Amino acid sequence: MEFTGSSYTGAFKNGRMEGEGEYKFPTETRYVGEMKNGMIHGKGESQLTDLGSLRVIPDGCYDCGDGFYDPNTRVITNYEHHFLRNA
């Protein structure tokens, strides 16, 4: 996963992002947390520049822009962990 204008600081394995790191997108959106096989994976924090603060992503979930997606339950909750919709 690499986008033009993005940057990554952290661990690599076999030339791919692996372990703890920080990924900055060209939009200045930032993710700090676990990487696996070159992709954002697992527990971490995301920061959208217009919102100003880091969000803690629950373990096993993904930040989907308006909340967190849990692939085990296939449910999206808002950032206060209230139900939004089924995925």
pTM above 0.75, yes or no: no
Residue 24 lies in a domain: yes
Query: Is residue 2 a part of any domain in this protein?
Result: no
* Listed residue (19, 56, 15) closest to 35, CA to CA: 19
Question: Predicted confidence band at 2 (pLDDT cuts at 50, 70, 90)?
Answer: low
Does residue 1 form part of some domain? no
Asked, for residue 30, whether it belongs to a domain, the answer is: yes
In angstroms, the CA 15 to CA 79 distance is 33
Token pair belonging to 52: 């100003």
In a domain, 27, yes or no: yes
User: Tell me: the pLDDT tens digits for 42-65?
Assistant: 777 776 655 556 677 888 888 887
